């Protein structure tokens, strides 16, 4: 299957990843044509080559105009694209706008802040950024859902935006519906996220691997004071992913970049052993750093994933406490069991006992057998292959009167057969609000059903 591997030694942002996908062969004309389906209004695509310490890379960015059309007369070549609609601004900490300059860092701006930089030629800019009304998650998704983009792109975009919404809400102590995206509510970041998804789809990429993510370090100054690098939302998104600060005292990884890596990527600290690289692509950042400010992407393939046989494993135990059963079941699930449970049984001579059972893919059998044989009193296990039919899983976040709750849909042939609020999500909200757990679960169920009908 076609795959890419992301080397983030200079961090990752949405426009760097999109630049790399363009460098890998995603045509700018296809991107432009697909973006028209979003009806975003007036904007300009910056698309040109950049040299970063001797590495030739593709630079991509988006510039937004004032509320009316202007000429744009500076020396760099851009791809111009305009519509007669309104646009929005998304950042608060930059106190001035600046022209595109390959030596200046004009990166994604997010819901926290970043440094403003004056470099090179600055002049009266029609394509400057200005403060405007901000959008929440629903407003952003309304734009995407109303477009003529494919359903797969819409669903994946929802995953990325929802991931950012959840961490922004946590960082700011607000509910998901209260969070107004400063970065991701803006036209340019909608373009970055949707553009990356379009690029992956066009190139036929089925698997995205990402190595250790370099965040940068230090502080950036904004209107409210100094903000640490990585920004709080970025830090939240990178939980569970390997990361390092690196040597550069700049904000190298943005929330959008972190969200794309989190939602789309599978961690692999090195190139997977079976990865065959056919091409290297480079997406340029804008700052001139002491290291090449590029995202390096290996474009190639890995062996198709084999369909693992499913095994049902069991053993009878009559001399172990219930607490240990609970412990072992949890440990099996964490290690990759598809399901695990204990059944009360009666053994020979009328002895009460339990049968410990779990489902596992054949490739992980040895790992889980080691757990059972080490943690329980059994002297052996038995197993056999089983067939199963499963519903397609689809995750979403719904908003209740008490806050956001994760829900899971069981889909078959495009129809929801089951709807289940995630217990841990409901439990956490119940603990935070003091509202009875059953009430939150009831509201989440209703909200999940309503979401299906939107």
DSSP 29-92: HHHHHHHGGG---SEEEEEEEEEETTEEEEEEEEE---SS-----SSS--EEE--SS------S
Mean pLDDT to the nearest integer, 178-197: 79
Mark whether 190 and 154 lie in a shared domain: yes
Judge if 372 and 408 occupy the same domain: no
What is the number of alpha carbons within 13 Å of residue 324 lying toward its C-beta? 15
Q: Between β-strands 55-63 and 43-52, what pairing exists: parallel, antiparallel or unpaired?
A: antiparallel
Question: What's the number of domains the chain is made of?
Answer: 3
Range of the domain at 419: 392-453
Shared domain check, 414 and 359: no
Looking up tokens 């596992």 gives 360
Is 324 found in the same domain as 297?
Answer: no
- CB-CB contact of 310 with 362 (8 Å): yes
Is pLDDT of 107 > 50?
A: no
**pLDDT band at residue 288 using 50, 70 and 90 as cut-offs:** very high
The listed range with the strongest mean pLDDT (83-97, 125-139, 166-180, 337-351) is 337-351
Identify the DSSP state of 295: E
- Contact criterion met (CB below 8 Å) for 129 and 175: no
Q: What angle do CA 426, 394, 313 make, to 5 degrees?
A: 85
**Virtual CA dihedral for 50, 53, 56, 60, nearest 10 degrees?**
-30
Domain boundary among the residues 281, 301, 321 is at 301
Give pLDDT, residue 105: 41
> Six-digit token pair at 264?
């789309």
103 shares its domain with 125: yes
pLDDT at 127: 35
Task: Specify the pLDDT at position 299.
Answer: 97
CATH number of the domain that residue 346 is part of: 3.30.70.1380
Q: Which residue has the higher pLDDT, 306 or 154?
A: 154
Domain co-membership, 270 together with 316: no
State whether 408 and 267 are in the same domain. Answer: no
Q: Say which range, 123-132, 159-168, 294-303, 428-437, has the weakest mean pLDDT.
A: 123-132
Whole-angstrom distance, CA of residue 419 vs CA of residue 408? 6
CATH of the domain at 408: 3.10.20.300
* Domain end position, chosen among 264, 282, 301: 301
Whether 182 has a pLDDT exceeding 60, the answer reads: no
d(CA 139, CA 150): 19
Where are the extended beta strands (E) located within 189-308? Answer: 207-210, 213-214, 219-222, 225-228, 243-244, 265-267, 276-284, 294-301
Chain mean pLDDT for the chain: 82
Q: Are residues 73 and 174 in the same domain?
A: yes
**What number is the average pLDDT over the span 218-234?**
83
pLDDT at 89 over 50: no
For residues 44 and 192, state if they share a domain.
yes
DSSP string covering 106-126, please? -----SS-------S-----S
Q: Where are the beta strands (DSSP E) in 261-377?
A: 265-267, 276-284, 294-301, 310-317, 339-346, 352-361
Contact 105, 114 (CB under 8 A): no
CA distance 19 to 23: 6
Confidence of residue 237 (pLDDT cuts 50, 70, 90): very high
- Region 322-342 average pLDDT: 93
- Highest-scoring range by mean pLDDT, 22-31, 214-223, 268-277: 22-31
User: Of 386, 405, 424, which residue sits at a domain end?
Assistant: 386
pLDDT higher than 60, residue 104: no
pLDDT digits (tens, 9 = 90+) for 123-144: 333 333 334 456 788 888 899 9
Say if residue 162's pLDDT is above 80: yes
**Dist CA 314 CA 360 (whole Å):** 11
Contact assessment for residue 64 and residue 89, using Cβ atoms and an 8 Å cutoff: yes
Model pLDDT, residue 83: 31
Residues 356 and 244 in one domain: no
Whether residues 174 and 151 share a domain: the answer is yes
Q: Which of 85, 184, 87, 183 is nearest to 127 (CA)?
A: 87
Q: Which of 136-140, 218-222, 241-245 is predicted least confidently?
A: 218-222
CA atoms of 207 and 275, how far apart (whole Å): 11
For residues 292 and 52, the answer to whether their CB atoms sit within 8 Å is: yes
pLDDT at 181: 65
Phi, psi dihedrals of residue 345, rounded to the nearest 5°: -140, 170
Q: How confident is the model at residue 69, as a pLDDT?
A: 32
* Domain match, 328 and 399 both: no
CA dist 411 to 145, 395, 423, 441, Å? Answer: 20, 10, 19, 20
């Amino acid at each position: 299957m076609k795959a890419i591997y992301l080397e983030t030694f200079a961090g990752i942002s949405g426009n760097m990843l999109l630049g790399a996908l363009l460098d890998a062969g995603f045509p700018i004309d296809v991107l432009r044509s697909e973006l028209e389906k979003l009806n975003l209004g007036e904007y300009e695509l910056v698309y040109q080559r950049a040299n970063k310490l001797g590495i030739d890379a593709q630079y991509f960015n988006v510039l937004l105009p004032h509320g009316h059309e202007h000429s744009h007369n500076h020396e760099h070549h851009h791809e111009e694209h305009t519509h007669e609609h309104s646009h929005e601004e998304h950042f608060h900490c930059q106190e001035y706008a600046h022209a595109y300059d390959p030596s200046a860092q004009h990166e994604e701006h997010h819901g926290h802040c970043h440094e403003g930089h004056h470099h090179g030629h600055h002049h009266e800019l029609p394509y400057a950024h200005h403060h405007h009304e901000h959008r929440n998650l629903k407003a952003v998704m309304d734009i995407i859902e109303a477009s003529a983009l494919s359903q797969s792109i819409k669903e994946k975009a929802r995953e990325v935006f929802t991931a950012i919404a959840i961490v922004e809400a946590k960082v700011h102590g607000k509910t998901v519906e209260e969070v107004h995206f400063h970065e991701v509510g803006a036209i340019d970041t909608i373009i970055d996220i949707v553009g990356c998804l379009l690029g992956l789809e066009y190139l036929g990429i089925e698997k995205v691997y990402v190595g250790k993510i370099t965040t940068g370090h230090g502080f950036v100054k904004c209107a409210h004071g100094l903000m640490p690098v990585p920004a709080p939302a970025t830090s939240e998104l990178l939980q569970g992913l390997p990361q390092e600060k690196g040597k550069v005292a700049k904000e190298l990884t943005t929330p959008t970049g972190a969200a794309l890596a989190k939602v789309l990527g599978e961690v692999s600290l090195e190139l997977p052993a079976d990865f065959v690289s056919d091409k290297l692509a480079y997406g340029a950042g804008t700052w001139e750093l002491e290291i090449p400010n590029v995202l390096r992407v290996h474009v190639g393939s890995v062996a198709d994933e084999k369909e693992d046989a499913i095994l049902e494993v069991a053993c009878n135990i009559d001399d172990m406490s219930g607490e240990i059963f609970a412990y072992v079941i949890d440990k099996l699930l964490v290690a990759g069991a598809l399901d695990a449970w204990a059944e009360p049984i009666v053994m020979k001579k009328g002895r009460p006992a339990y049968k410990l059972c779990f489902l596992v893919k054949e490739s992980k059998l040895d790992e889980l057998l080691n757990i059972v044989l080490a943690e329980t009193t059994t002297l052996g296990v038995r197993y056999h292959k089983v067939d199963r039919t499963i519903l397609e899983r689809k995750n979403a976040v719904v908003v209740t009167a008490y806050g956001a709750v994760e829900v899971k849909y069981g889909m078959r042939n495009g129809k929801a057969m089951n709807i289940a609020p995630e217990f841990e999500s409901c439990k956490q909200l119940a603990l935070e609000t003091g509202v009875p757990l059953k009430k939150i679960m009831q509201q989440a169920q209703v909200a999940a059903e309503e979401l299906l009908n939107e």
